[in-house]
Structure formats: structure tokens, C-alpha cells
Amino acid sequence: MRYRLVIFDWDGTLMDSVARIVDCMQAAARDAGWGHLAPAAVRDIIGLGLPEAIATLCPGIDPDRAELLRSRYAWHFVEGNDTPMRFFPEVEAGIAALRGQADQRLAVATGKSRRGLDRVFCESGSGRWFHASRTADETRSKPHPQMLEELLAELAVPVEEAVMVGDTAYDLEMARAIGMDRVAVTWGVHAPARLADSRPAFTAEAVPHLFDWLQGK
């Protein structure tokens, strides 16, 4: 066990949900009369809180239209879109292996809302895997490190015994801001070169490599 606390991002790191996020954000923008959002632009903001994502995607959007876009995104994601969302292959086995180690703590730090994370926890049965979690609507959005600071305090783990695992520069930069080690995964949304700028302790190119490294193999 390399770290007593492993904190995971969700979308693009543990769950293959990127296609659904992109489809729903594009549909919401059309519903709100904003027009077309390029898939690459939507992929780039995955990991931010929804208000921050909308502000980045739609510069100058007025508050009423931003709220309409937000509500339409929520509707599409929950009810209007059936694009499958599954854990990346071997994620569940990897989490189980970590949970089998004595004194190992696991947490989630995500740009999702609390309601959204709790929904996917319930639907996937994965809520029991984690000792704590933080979402963007109950603290500050990535890349601000507040959610990591709160997780460290809740679980009483010093920063040098924790690591952040994510697929975006937002994940890695929030960890870097407080001197926390970070691991980049390359199967998500940000390119390896961009992730490398955040100086990760390790870059995983496949799920088994990530969990082997976290276990000290």
C-alpha cells in the first residue's frame, strides 16, 4: 500500500461516462438556444462543477439562459439520454483489491453534484466502496483544492499519506496546490502531454497498471 488514502475522480477515471456527458451538454445547449457545442470543447470541461463548466463553454451567457441550460442538462442526463455508463474494465476488481488492504481508505472527489453522485452510487452499488466523498456543489469546484482539504480532515489523514487519481489537469492541479501526490490516467479526457504538465508521480495507461502501482507492486 503506497498511500493510506486514495482519492478518485469519477467521470473518465472510474466510470466511462464521457459520451453521455457530451451528448447531454450538446442537447442542453440546443434546448437553451445557445447553439452547437463542439465535442472536444465539452470533453475539455469534464471535471468542473456544472456552473463553472457552463461559464467556460458559453462565455458571456446570461444567468437565466445559464440556468435553463443547467436544468436541461440535468434532465437529459437523468431522463432523456440512455447512452450506457459503465465502470472501465477491471475497475471493480481493482477497487476490491485495494479494499482488501488493512487500513486502506478510499474517497471520491468529483465535479458531479451530490444528487448525481448519490444516484450513481445507488444505481451501481458502489457507494459502499468509499469512506467519504465530495462533490462540486457542496464545496468549491476543481481545480480549487478545498474538496481535498475537506476529505483529509474528515478522514484524519495527512496530505503526505494521500494521493489523487484523475484523468484531467483539474484533478491533478487541485492536488498539486496542496502538495498532494497525484496519479494521471490516460483513458479519460485530457491528453497525456497536458497531464504531464502537472508532474504526476505516476501515469497509468491501463486500469490494471493503476491498481498494481497503488498496491505497491
Tell me the residue ranges of DSSP E strands in 83-125: 86-87, 105-110
Q: Catalytic amino acids? A: 9, 11
**DSSP E strands: which ranges in the chain?**
5-8, 15-16, 86-87, 105-110, 132-135, 162-166, 181-185, 202-204
7, 18, 92, 167, 179 from 89: Cα distances, Å: 19, 15, 8, 16, 30
DSSP-derived 3-state class of residue 48: strand
Neighbours of 130 (CB within 10 A): 18
Helix, strand or coil, per DSSP, at residue 113: coil
Distance between CA atoms of 201 and 215, rounded to whole angstroms? 14
Helix, strand, or coil here: 204? strand
CA diameter of the chain:
53
Cell of residue 11, nine digits: 467521470
Query: Whose grid coordinates read 481508505?
Result: 105
